[in-house]
């Protein structure tokens, strides 16, 4: 989970890292109130999860109330970096003598965390990494013991005239935050040397989603998959796995731009109308690619995997099918070795039965694995007795073929509805 800058500063404060005094505002009225707590010049910063705010006009030093209000009015609720600006922070302007860069993240090849440090921080750090890579220093960290003082002293040996001891202390505190709060990344850029101390001017923090259950005390806002604003269905799907760790069902649920009920629907493009319930990481992506290659538009992306119990798949199915503008539903995945196909498709049927109004659109199912034959016999019976338009494909049918069939059936369904409405 990516955090807003102000959320990152709050985490740094828990380990004693100094940040500039700031106030968070979510509307013009709060901007006016926040301004009373600061003296000009004030640094105004939009809060978005994307980077490069400084180069894109999202950070501005303002010297008057008019400049501040003009900045706020031109950014609040506007799209910046692909996100709607919900927050702006007003920060004191720090007198910076020199800027540095420091971060801690993971090396997924070596499978160890490491520190990066440079004596040339600021908004040009990406260009510096390309043109002067030798200026960016690295120290790998033993995750069991943390960074050693000896390694840190070597890393900060050339920070004169500033005391290397201050940098060692800062890095140790940064590691404390990184390890204590299950971070995937902590980046401070710039790390400012002032007359009296080291100050984290900016704070970029990414938390490990799997560790969030251990940190209920953290004051962070829920984040959606595409923007910072999660939809109600994204939040509801996420809760399924939070209360039951048997298998996975709902940890990943994304309402795609243009999805009829998504607040991101104004993003443009054709609205998604094919509900997706995929299984297996690689197969799930193949399902999405195949649907789009056939001319279909998915309304969502979600998956269940492992061997989730029937009730978890039922909950995920109901959330997925709550979209009233669907023209089809696709349940697809690769051949499973450890998933009880009868159990999971039984959960799908339970969720289907709970969906209102009753789905009249075509449903395509392409699965394979333990108890598949038994499951398909059950599905045929349900379709025949309860009037669902279910189309079954076994593992002998390529996923791409099943997806193409889904798109064709969905298009027929849309044409039928269009003709009925014309009458």
Predicted pLDDT of residue 117: 95
Q: How confident is the model at residue 230 (pLDDT cuts 50, 70, 90)?
A: confident
Q: Evaluate whether the domain defined by 98-214 bears CATH number 3.40.50.300.
A: no
Q: Which fold has domain 21-92?
A: Dna Ligase; domain 1 (3.30.1490)
Least confidently predicted of 38-42, 70-74, 237-241: 237-241
Tell the CATH topology of 232-422: Rossmann fold (3.40.50)
Matching residue, tokens 């499951």: 375
pLDDT attached to residue 173: 97
Residue 279 pLDDT exceeds 50: yes
Is there a contact between 276 and 288 (Cβ–Cβ < 8 Å)? yes
CA distances from 65 to 33, 34, 43, 254 (A): 11, 11, 12, 40
Q: What is the pTM of this model?
A: 0.66
Cβ contacts of 75 within 8 Å, gap of 6 or more:
46, 58, 85, 88
Distance CA 188, CA 204 (A): 6
> With 60 as the cut, is the pLDDT of residue 266 above it?
no
Domain locations along the chain: 21-92, 98-214, 232-422
Please say if the pLDDT value at position 53 is more than 80.
yes
């Amino acid at each position: 989970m990516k955090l807003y800058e102000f959320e990152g500063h709050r985490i740094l404060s828990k380990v004693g890292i100094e940040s500039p005094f700031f106030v968070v505002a979510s509307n013009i009225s709060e901007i006016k109130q926040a301004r009373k707590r600061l003296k000009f010049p004030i640094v105004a910063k939009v809060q978005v999860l994307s980077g490069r705010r400084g180069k894109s006009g999202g950070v501005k030093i303002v010297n008057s109330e008019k400049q501040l209000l003009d900045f706020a009015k031109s950014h609040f609720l506007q799209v910046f970096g692909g996100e709607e600006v919900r927050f702006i922070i007003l920060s004191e302007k720090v007198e910076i003598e020199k800027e540095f860069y420091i971060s801690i993240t993971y090396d997924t090849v070596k499978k160890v965390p490491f520190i990066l440090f440079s004596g040339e921080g600021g908004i040009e750090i990406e260009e510096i990494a390309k043109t002067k890579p030798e200026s960016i220093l690295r120290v790998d960290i033993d995750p069991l013991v943390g960074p050693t003082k000896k390694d840190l002293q070597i890393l900060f040996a050339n920070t004169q005239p500033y005391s290397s001891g201050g940098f060692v202390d800062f890095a140790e505190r940064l590691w404390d935050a990184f390890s204590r709060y299950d971070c995937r990344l902590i980046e401070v850029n710039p790390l400012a040397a002032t007359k009296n101390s080291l100050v984290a001017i900016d704070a970029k923090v990414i938390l490990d989603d799997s560790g969030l259950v251990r940190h209920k005390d953290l004051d962070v806002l829920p984040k959606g998959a595409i923007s910072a604003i999660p939809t109600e269905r994204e939040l509801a799907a996420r809760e399924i796995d939070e209360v039951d760790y048997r298998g996975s069902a709902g940890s990943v649920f994304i309402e795609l731009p243009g999805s009829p009920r998504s607040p991101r629907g104004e993003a443009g493009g054709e609205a998604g109308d094919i509900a997706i319930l995929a299984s297996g990481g690689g197969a799930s992506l193949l399902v999405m690619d195949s649907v789009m290659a056939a001319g279909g538009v998915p309304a969502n992306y979600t998956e269940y995997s492992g061997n989730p119990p029937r009730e978890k798949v039922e909950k995920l199915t109901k959330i997925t099918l709550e979209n009233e503008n669907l023209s089809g539903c696709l349940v697809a995945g690769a051949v499973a070795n450890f998933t009880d196909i009868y159990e999971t498709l039984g959960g799908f049927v339970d969720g289907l039965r709970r969906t209102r109004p009753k789905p009249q659109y075509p449903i395509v199912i392409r699965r394979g694995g333990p108890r598949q034959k038994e499951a398909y016999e059950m599905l045929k019976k349900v379709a025949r007795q309860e009037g669902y338009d279910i189309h079954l494909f076994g593992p002998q049918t390529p996923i791409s073929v099943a997806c193409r069939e889904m798109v064709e059936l969905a298009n027929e369904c849309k044409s039928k509805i269009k003709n009925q409405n014309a009458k």
